[in-house]
Amino acid sequence: MSGLEAVETLLASTDLFGVLAPEVRLDCAGHFRELRFDKGRTLFVHGDLGTHAYVVAEGRVRMTLTTAAGRELAVRIAEPGSLVGEIAALDGGLRSADATAITPVLVLAIAAADLDRLIARHPDLARAAVRLLCARLRATTDQLEGIALHSIEVRLARFLLEALGGRTAPPGRRPAVELGYSQSDLARLIGSSRPKTNLALGALEAAGAIRRTADRIFCDPVLLAGIAGHDDG
What are the counts of helices (DSSP H) followed by strands (DSSP E) for the chain?
A: 9, 11
209 φ, ψ (degrees, to nearest 5): -80, -25
Give the model confidence (pLDDT) of 122-154 as tens digits: 999 999 999 999 998 888 788 777 777 789 999
According to the model, what pLDDT value does residue 127 have?
95
pTM, to two decimals: 0.75
The DSSP result for 6-18, as a single string, is HHHHHHHTSTTTT
H or E element that contains 40: none
Indicate the SS3 state at residue 64. strand
Give the model confidence (pLDDT) of 11-52 as tens digits: 999 989 999 999 999 999 999 999 999 999 999 999 999 999
For the chain, what percent of residues have pLDDT higher than 90?
64
104 φ, ψ (degrees, to nearest 5): -55, 135
Of 95, 103, 89, the closest CA to residue 45 belongs to 95
Q: How confident is the model at residue 205 (pLDDT cuts 50, 70, 90)?
A: very high
Bridge partners of residue 65, in order along the sequence: 73
According to the model, what pLDDT value does residue 233 have?
40
